[in-house]
Every structure is written in C-alpha cells, then in structure tokens.
Amino acid sequence: MSKKSTTKLDLVSLVKGYKDSFPFYQVLAPSGEIVHSDLEPKLSDEELTTLMKRLVWARTYDKRVTLLNRQGALGNYAPGGGQEASQIATQYALGEKDFFAGTYRDLAPLILHGLPLEKAFLWYKGHMKGNEYPEDLQAYAPQVIVGGHITHAMGVAFGMKKRNKKSIVLSLSGDGATSQGDFYEGINFAGAYQVPYVAVVQNNGYGISVPVEQQTAAETLAQKAVAAGIPGIRVDGMDPLAMYAAVSTAREHALAGQGPVVIEALTYRFGPHTMSDDPTRYRLAEELGEWEQKDPLVRMRTYLSNKGLWTEEQEKEVAESCKQEIKDAVAAIGQVDKQKVSDFLKNMYEVSPQNIQEQIAEYEAREMKEDE
Amino acid sequence: MSKKTMVQAINDALDYKLSKDENVLLFGEDIGPNGGVFRVTDGLQAKHGEDRVFDTPLAESGILGMSVGLATEGFRPVPEIQFLGFILEAMSPVVAQFSRMRYRMANTRSMPITVRAPYGGGVHTPELHSDSLEGILAQVPGMRIVIPSNPYDAKGLLISAIESNDPVIFLEHLKLYRSMKQDIPDEDYRVPLDKAAVTREGSDVTVIGYGLMISEALKAAKELEHEISVEVIDLRTIAPIDMDTVLASVKKTGRVVVTQEAQRQAGVTGQLMSEIGERAFMYLEAPISRVTAPDSVYPFGAAEADWLPNAKDIIKKVKEVYDF
C-alpha cells in the first residue's frame, strides 16, 4: 500500500486520466495488414488455417441457424455474427482441460469447446436433453442471468487452484454483465484468491438496446478490473489475432499462478439481440455499416490469402460441410423422444422427497394414458 | 457422550465432516481465525488448515456463486451466510442457480452445497439479523430447508445435509445456540432429512412447528398435560414437508395447531394447513388453527417480546381447537 500522501485534490483530471491507462491492442488492421508484429501470436500456418476454418464455420452457423429460426425449425436464437474474433479466436486459445462458461450468445464457441451440435439445437428447442452434457465436457450450459456465471467461473477456477490443476476457466459475457454486482463480486474474489481465471467481456456496444455510455460513466470496461486489483486490457474484438494473443497471454499469466485477467473485447453484433429484437429501433444503419468494414473474417481472409494460405474453394468447403453438419443435426433432433414432465421431475433431486415422488406417480399415470 | 449446546453440536458435525471428507470446504465471513460471529466454527481453521476453512470477502452473492463453481470442481462446499437476512443479497445463486443445476443439466451434474445461516429472534439484534425467511426459500424447488430444534438433531441433520448430493439451506435459530444443552454422542450419527419427528406423543391435539417454536410447543404441552394431551410434531425438514408423519398424527387427534415464528402470510404453516385440509379434511374435528407473528417487518429490538409468538399463544389456540 502506498504511503505517499498528496495535497492535490484535482478530481476532474483524475477521472479523465483513467482511459489513458487502457490502450487498445490490435495486431491485424481491417485491411488485413499486420500493424503490431511484436504482438503477433506464434501460430503455425496450419493453426492459422484452422482458426480461419473455425471463423468461417461460426459465421456459416450463425447465418444458417438464423434462417432455421425464421423458418420455425429451432427455438429462439441470439446471433453471434460479427463477434467471431471475440468468441471463436478466444476459445481457440484454450486447452482441452480448460473450463468454458458462456452465455446464450456463446453457443458457437461452446460447440467448438466440445458440445455436440444436436445438444445445442435441443437447447434452442427447449428440450432437457440439450443440457445432458458428457461427463468430461468442461463447460456450463449457457447462462441466462447476465453476469450470473462470473462468480461460478471464479469458483471453478478456485477449485482448480486447490487441486493444483494446470488449467484455467474462461468466461464470455457481454458489456451488460459488467453493470451487474455479480461481475464485480466475481472478479474481486478472483483477485483476492488469485485464481486462474480469464474474463472476456464482449463489449458490443449495447445491452440489448441500451448503449454502454448509458450503462456506466466508465470510458472503458477494462478499467473495472482496477477496482479488483487485477489486470484489465482492451483489445480489438474484431481482430482474431489480437484476441488469440490476448487470451493466450492472459491464460499463461493465470497458469503461472499470477491470478485473473479481465479482457474487454471491442466488438459488434451484426444481427439483432435475439430473433425477437429489432435493432433499427436503437441503432443507425450507418453504424452497422462502419462495423461491417471491420469484419473479422474479411481481415483474416485477406491476411491469409496474401500469405497463400487461404482460397475461395477452402472457404466454400468449410461452409458446405458446416451446412451438412447442421442438416444432420436437425434430422437427429427430430428422432429424440418427446420430454415428459415425469422425466424432469426425476431430475429435481438425487433422492426424491415425498412431494416429488407423488407427482412423478401422478404424471406417469397421466402420460401412460396419453400414450394409449 | 457429553452435554453440549447447539453451537458445540454444529461444530462437532463440521469437524467430523472436515476430518472424513477432503472435499468438504468451509468458508464465509469471519469464520476463520475469528471462528464465526457465534463461534460455531471455532478452532476449525487451526485444525484443518486455511485451504479447507477460510474467510471470504464480504459479499454473499460471491460466496454462494463461488459455491456453485467449487461444487462443479467436485468439492462439497459448506458456506456460511453470517445472518439469514443477508441471503437476500444472494437470491440469484440460490434460486436461479444451484437449486436448479441438477434439473438444468438433466441430472448430469449435482450441487452438494450446504448453506448454513443463523436466523430467528429473541436476542435483541439490529435490523435484518433475526428475520425468519424460510417461507421465501421454501417455495424454491430443488433444494431442502432444514431447521433443527435442538442440539442432538443439529449435529445429526447437519451431517446428513453435508452428505446429501443436493443443496440444503440449514438454518440455526439464534436463541437455540446456547439456551439448551443435550447429551451428544462424541461419534458421528445421522438424523434423516425429509423426516419429521414426533417429539412428544399425545392424543387430543397435534401442534406442528419447527425451530424455536418446538421449545414453545413443548412448554405449552407440559402446562396443559393434566387437561389436554398434546402431540408435538417437529418438521425438521420444512421444505419439502414430510406429510406422512403429519397426516398420521392429524388422523389420530383430529385437532391441529400449526406454528411458526415467521409472519403469517404465505409461510410454511399456510402450506401445512392447505395440505392437511386437502388430505385429511374428513378427520378434522375442528378448523386448523395457527400461531404466527403478525405481518409486520421483524420489529425493532425493544418490541420483540410482544411480537414473537410463544407458548402462551399456543396454549390459547390449543384450548380453542380442543373446545371447538
């Protein structure tokens, strides 16, 4: 603790200075040029190509699932298009044993972390089997309470530290989550216990319709880490290489026992909040146009094409195979048995108390009648 | 076997589980070197180490949210909420998260969390240190609310709660902490969850309650013993309720008084009355009666004695249903 005293009480310039402490990290400019080679992640050509494949896969997924929702084939959907660098490059930096805690917008990275596609679709459909996760899947089901998973993620990380595991926890959230008390409690505990946790905040500018400037007087969200005494950085969330580099560095920091990191990813969702949202009520078309110029896929495509690592054919191939996977998954979920009330009553407790036992019997009798 | 208070009995249970299961973790505000504000965790950090028994920042949602994560990582968290009134800061982890995790994850994950919290009045606390909030919590599916009425049950129920793979909210009445001593076996034993106790057998009127109201009901039964034979049922697990035990008694006596220290509206006694009415109406010789606190905010300390329901109120209602 600093023991230096001061006689200066210039509050206005004090708050103005906060933003200067949070420079913005970028590796790949929208043009596809490397702007900071010293920050460039050390990825092999093969790894770079894999990352690009994943970005294309996620964009195809977003477009296809949006369409399926419009057709009524799947339940509600929260689009991720535009946020691929923040979601997919982030997840790409994780190890297999790392734990992933995301939100309802983070299905594409959750699938890439190991969730079978049919399960994601069953989740959209509101079927209990959607969250019947394999035992070794290191992830939570998508969190619906904005910011609710930040304290859970910190808790898993604390558990990993207690067990001396060589793994970390990664959470994805939006800017809205940083307005929640749980966000602060989560990062504050994480700092107090120095747990291996990386919190990536996808600042897409809006909590549904409320702009960040109306959510907080803080000019950056990264600076919220300062209050918890942990590192906070701002990254171009439309830049896959910057996101990969930032998350990898934060992960190494956490694995080295140096504690948690908050990463603010500056990004934008091209689509609506969910399929029942109309963004023209709160966003200007020009704004969307400006952000489309920063498209993570465009800059990565240019970068890799210039290196001779990416072709139009490859891109088509990934998109086609993604569409086929989706087709197969949609067919597979059509074969899943209808869920019964008696089934999920059995999931309330390990040992059912009297009321649940009675209700299971009641619903089983009713369901048997309906089957006849 | 030795005479112990509820504080010592709970400390015994925690010590036993910490010794037998390396996944059990105790944490909360001031529970480490300080041993908790009621000394319930006294000596446990020194004995089991700072890795197993530790202090947390002062933030209830953080404490219970962290419990979710630790349970995910295979631990058996036993967090303390310093006073039940403070759990209002943590309703999201309780109601929106750990109580529904087994359901949410289609039975592939469990949340073996036991949240301990002192509650209840009669000891002149500041505001929000004495509230009986069990009725709010009792509506939440997927967890159990357990409230011991004596030191023996406290140890046995707490061991059962910690061993359960489902979440338990374990509530300890402030006034019971040191007001009675009982013979407690030194070794471990279990009092089952989901099972009410017939604390005193009787044949004329059934009084059903939990927590401190059991002491009051027993006082009432004793005072009435030469005129009315009162049976006392201690729910122990107040949600979900063991209706089998309740109904067996109701069918025997036909006259019922239900009691809780909490306010009257929408509480556990309301649930008891409706279940009894629905399932045993034809056995009733009189309308079910109830003894509760009135529907105000928990009162300022100096008004406490007039507000809290007690043995006198129970006697009055028992006589009413007996003479109906």
- pLDDT confidence bin for A372, thresholds 50/70/90: confident
Q: Is residue B301 part of a domain?
A: yes
Q: Sort out which chain B residues have CB atoms less than 8 A from A158's CB and list them.
A: 66, 69-70, 73
Neighbouring C-beta atoms of residue A129, cutoff 10 Å? 16
Q: Sort out which chain A residues have CB atoms less than 8 A from B71's CB and list them.
A: 155
Q: Is residue B231 part of a domain?
A: yes
Specify whether B175 is located in the same domain as B214: no
* Pick among B73, B92, B143 to test the A interface (most A CBs inside 10 A): B73
Q: Choose, from B48, B124, B129, B173, the residue flagged as catalytic.
A: B129
Mean pLDDT for all residues in chain A: 95
d(CA B12, CA A203): 49
**Burial class (CB within 10 angstroms; exposed 0-12, middle 13-18, buried 19+) of A339:** middle
Is B261's Cβ below 8 Å from some Cβ in A?
no
Mean pLDDT for all residues in chain B: 97
d(CA B293, CA A169): 47
CATH of the domain at B271: 3.40.50.920
pLDDT computed for residue A13 by the predictor: 84
Q: Is residue B141 part of a domain?
A: yes
The minimal CB distance from A347 to the residues B73, B106, B241 is found for B106
Residue B101: closest CA among chain A residues belongs to which residue?
Answer: A348
Do B237 and B171 contact (CB within 8 A), yes or no? Answer: no
Is B109's Cβ below 8 Å from some Cβ in A?
yes
Specify whether B275 is located in the same domain as B222: yes
d(CA B191, CA B184): 13
pLDDT in tens, A260-283: 999 999 999 999 999 999 999 999
Do B67 and B77 contact (CB within 8 A), yes or no? Answer: yes
Complex ipTM more than 0.85, yes or no: yes
Specify whether B203 is located in the same domain as B167: no
Q: Where are the alpha helices (DSSP H) in chain B?
A: 6-20, 44-48, 60-72, 91, 101-104, 134-138, 151-163, 176-179, 212-224, 243-253, 268-280, 304-307, 311-323
Domain boundary among B120, B150, B184: B184
Is B186's Cβ below 8 Å from some Cβ in A?
no
Specify whether B156 is located in the same domain as B273: no
What percentage of chain A carries pLDDT values higher than 70?
A: 99
Do A94 and A113 contact (CB within 8 A), yes or no? Answer: yes
Specify whether B268 is located in the same domain as B302: yes
The minimal CB distance from A159 to the residues B65, B70, B194 is found for B70
Q: Identify the bridge partners of residue A356 per DSSP, sorted by sequence position.
A: none
Inter-chain residue contact A350 with B66, CB threshold 8 Å: no
Inter-chain residue contact A152 with B97, CB threshold 8 Å: yes
Q: Which residues contact A330 (CB under 8 A, 6 or more apart)?
A: A68, A73, A74, A121
What part of B 36-55 touches A (C-beta under 8 Å)?
Answer: 51
What is the mean pLDDT of the segment spanning A196-205? 98
Specify whether B123 is located in the same domain as B231: no
- pLDDT confidence bin for A3, thresholds 50/70/90: low
Inter-chain residue contact A152 with B109, CB threshold 8 Å: no
DSSP class of residue A159? Answer: H
What is the mean pLDDT of the segment spanning A146-165? 98
d(CA A92, CA A112): 8
Measured at the CA of A264, the angle between CA A31 and CA A219, to 5 degrees, comes to 100
SS3 A35: coil
The minimal CB distance from A155 to the residues B67, B164, B165 is found for B67
Inter-chain residue contact A132 with B106, CB threshold 8 Å: yes
The minimal CB distance from B65 to the residues A151, A347, A353 is found for A151
What is the mean pLDDT of the segment spanning B31-45? 97
Q: Sort out which chain A residues have CB atoms less than 8 A from B64's CB and list them.
A: 151
Specify whether B89 is located in the same domain as B173: yes
Nearest 10 degrees: CA dihedral of B213, B88, B158, A149?
Answer: 160
Inter-chain residue contact A140 with B142, CB threshold 8 Å: no
Q: Would you say domain A17-337 falls under CATH 3.60.10.10?
A: no
Q: Sort out which chain A residues have CB atoms less than 8 A from B51's CB and list them.
A: 162
Element (H, E) at A369: helix A354-371
Inter-chain residue contact A133 with B105, CB threshold 8 Å: yes
Is B108's Cβ below 8 Å from some Cβ in A?
yes
- How far does B200 lie from chain A, in Å, by closest CA? 23
Q: Sort out which chain A residues have CB atoms less than 8 A from B62's CB and list them.
A: 151, 154, 182, 185-186, 188-189
First CA to last CA across chain A, in angstroms?
Answer: 74
SS3 A265: strand
Specify whether B131 is located in the same domain as B41: yes
Phi/psi for B298 (5° steps) reads -50, 130
Half-sphere exposure in the Cβ direction for A216 (13 Å, CA): 19
Query: Is the Cα torsion angle B91, B96, B102, B105 positive or negative in sign?
Result: negative
DSSP class of residue B125? Answer: P
Q: B209 is in which domain, residue-wise?
A: 197-323
What is the identity of the amino acid at B58? L
Ramachandran quadrant class, A250 (left: phi over 0; alpha: psi -120 to 50; beta: rest): alpha
For the cut 80, the answer to whether the pLDDT of residue B240 exceeds it is yes
d(CA A42, CA B35): 50
Sheet holding B256-263, edge to edge: B197-200, B230-234, B205-209, B256-263, B289-293
What is the mean pLDDT of the segment spanning A320-332? 97
pLDDT computed for residue B281 by the predictor: 98
Is A150's Cβ below 8 Å from some Cβ in B?
yes
Q: Where are the alpha helices (DSSP H) in A200-274?
A: 212-215, 224-228, 240-255
What is the mean pLDDT of the segment spanning B188-217? 98
Q: Which residues contact A15 (CB under 8 A, 6 or more apart)?
A: none
Q: Is residue B96 part of a domain?
A: yes
Is B57's Cβ below 8 Å from some Cβ in A?
yes
Is B61's Cβ below 8 Å from some Cβ in A?
yes
The minimal CB distance from A163 to the residues B59, B73, B105 is found for B73
Is B278's Cβ below 8 Å from some Cβ in A?
no
For residue A148, give the nearest of A189, A102, A109, A80 by alpha carbon.
Answer: A102
d(CA B142, CA B107): 12
DSSP sequence for B200-249: E--SSEEEEE-THHHHHHHHHHHHHTTT--EEEEE-SEEES--HHHHHHH
Specify whether B163 is located in the same domain as B21: yes
For residue A280, give the nearest of A206, A219, A216 by alpha carbon.
Answer: A206
For the cut 80, the answer to whether the pLDDT of residue B151 exceeds it is yes
The domain spans of chain A are 17-337, 340-371
- How far does A280 lie from chain B, in Å, by closest CA? 32
Specify whether B9 is located in the same domain as B147: yes
Do A112 and A90 contact (CB within 8 A), yes or no? Answer: no
For the cut 80, the answer to whether the pLDDT of residue A2 exceeds it is no
d(CA A235, CA A231): 13
pLDDT computed for residue A19 by the predictor: 86
pLDDT in tens, B250-287: 999 999 999 999 999 999 999 999 999 999 999 999 99
For residue A243, give the nearest of A165, A299, A291, A176 by alpha carbon.
Answer: A299
Query: Is the Cα torsion angle A61, A63, A64, A69 positive or negative in sign?
Result: positive
First CA to last CA across chain B, in angstroms?
Answer: 45
The answer to whether residue B129 is catalytic is yes
Inter-chain residue contact A189 with B107, CB threshold 8 Å: no
Q: Is residue B190 part of a domain?
A: no
Q: Is residue B191 part of a domain?
A: no
Specify whether B121 is located in the same domain as B61: yes
Q: Sort out which chain B residues have CB atoms less than 8 A from A151's CB and list them.
A: 61-62, 64-66, 68-69, 93
Specify whether B159 is located in the same domain as B225: no
Is A286's Cβ below 8 Å from some Cβ in B?
no
pLDDT computed for residue B205 by the predictor: 98
Domain count, chain B: 2
For residue A149, give the nearest of A131, A167, A133, A169 by alpha carbon.
Answer: A169
